[in-house]
Homo-oligomer: A and B are copies of this chain.
Amino acid sequence: MNPEADAARPRHLLDLAAWSPTQVAALFDTSDVMAQVMTRTIKKVPALQGFTVGTLFFENSTRTRLSFERAARAQSADVISFAAGASSLSKGESLKDTLKTIDAMQADLYVVRHPAAGAPHQLTAWTDAAIVNAGDGRRAHPTQALLDAYTFKTRFPGFTSFEGIKLAIVGDVAHSRVARSNAELWTKLGAQVTLCGPRTLLPDELGERPGVALTHRLTEAVEGAHAVMALRLQHERMAGPLLPSLAEYRARYQVTRDALALAHPDALVLHPGPMNRDVEIEGALADGPRSVVEAQVANGVPVRMAVLYTLLVGGKGRDR
């Protein structure tokens, strides 16, 4: 165990601001161990036996919730699931009272998804349990960024550093917490990040982070990139029409095999899912040899196992 990584390890994973590059590296090392567990016949270890992980989803999500639940159960933790949709907790109760009610179950860690930016952070004031942000509004989705970077790193044996690496993120950047968390993580690790999309979907303020550049031209974003991530158009979050037409969007921003010809010869293609083939990404590219889309989803489990393990066993946890 790395004492430097351990010393100031955050109690929560709300975003990546509080996590140092050394701590992220330690998390990736733990992810390697967990990934090895998932290749065994018996994909289960007793690491979190006796712990309870609660999932609090105030927005629908199947893939993320299942991934966390699997990560908890693969370490023998108990799981208690709360989905706001199916709940009677809407009888006029405040978020604080809802959390207090849920927290009576005495889970050791809550995985929280909420439509309001900052909601997971707010919850830390009302419980002793650890909080993992599984997506809050457009703000952050840190475990997605961790698994994206981890997926990239593990594709290159002997990979030592993100210094000099160039990541392009293309599409509906405005509504994407995935874009924001990836920009935060990859620049922290030393990479350059270019965000690309039409004017209406690319807010200027995202270019203020050191190491992040903005462009409206796909060719400029992709040129020389080691990793190209395509983002889904989040129509459900768009208040009005933000696109001239879907046909024009495809023509200008679809990540295609042609576009990828401008990238680094070893460039990888990522997509956080769900994927709309032949809209934001060419289907043949998504299914081709450069695509690591399936590896991203698969890495979700070991990376989230590492997050749960680090916060629960490495950290202080509830009442400890």
List chain A positions with a Cβ less than 8 A from chain B. Answer: 38-39, 41-44, 49-52, 60-63, 66-67, 69-70, 73-74, 78, 80, 82-83, 85-89, 91-94, 97, 100-102, 104-106, 232, 273-277, 279, 294, 297-298, 300-301, 317, 319-320
Given the contacts A41-B319, A60-B86, A70 and B106 also touching, CB distance less than 8 Å: yes
- Which of A41, A63, A300: most chain B Cβ within 10 A? A63
Q: Is the CB of A97 within 8 A of B273?
A: yes
Identical copies of this chain, number: 3
Given the contacts A63-B89, A80-B66, A100 and B277 also touching, CB distance less than 8 Å: no
CA distance A167 to B89 in the complex (A): 27
Q: Is the CB of B319 within 8 A of A92?
A: no
Which residue of the partner chain, among B51, B70, B275, B320, contacts A105 with CB atoms under 8 Å? B70
Q: Is the CB of B92 within 8 A of A274?
A: yes
Name which residue of chain B comes closest to A41, CB basis.
B320
CA distance A101 to B51 in the complex (A): 26
Cβ–Cβ < 8 Å partners of A85 in chain B: 86
Cβ–Cβ < 8 Å partners of A279 in chain B: 92
Which residue of the partner chain, among B67, B104, B106, contacts A294 with CB atoms under 8 Å? B104
- Which of A69, A273, A276, A279: most chain B Cβ within 10 A? A273
The distance from the CB of A270 to the nearest CB of chain B, in whole angstroms, is 14
The distance from the CB of A304 to the nearest CB of chain B, in whole angstroms, is 11
Which residue of the partner chain, among B73, B93, B276, contacts A275 with CB atoms under 8 Å? B93
The distance from the CB of A154 to the nearest CB of chain B, in whole angstroms, is 15
Name which residue of chain B comes closest to A45, CB basis.
B50
Cβ–Cβ < 8 Å partners of A87 in chain B: 60, 62
The 4 tightest CB contacts between A and B, nearest first, are A42-B50, A104-B297, A62-B87, A93-B274
Given the contacts A66-B82, A105-B70, A60 and B88 also touching, CB distance less than 8 Å: yes
Given the contacts A94-B277, A97-B274, A82 and B104 also touching, CB distance less than 8 Å: no
Cβ–Cβ < 8 Å partners of A319 in chain B: 39, 41
CA distance A70 to B100 in the complex (A): 15
Cβ–Cβ < 8 Å partners of A92 in chain B: 274, 276, 279
Which residue of the partner chain, among B52, B104, B276, contacts A298 with CB atoms under 8 Å? B104
Name which residue of chain B comes closest to A85, CB basis.
B86
Q: Is the CB of A73 within 8 A of B52?
A: yes
Which residue of the partner chain, among B62, B73, B94, B297, contacts A78 with CB atoms under 8 Å? B73
Q: Is the CB of A70 within 8 A of B80?
A: yes
List 9 A-B pairs, Cβ < 8 Å: A38-B106, A43-B52, A44-B49, A44-B78, A73-B78, A85-B86, A97-B275, A101-B297, A106-B301
Q: Is the CB of B102 within 8 A of A66?
A: yes
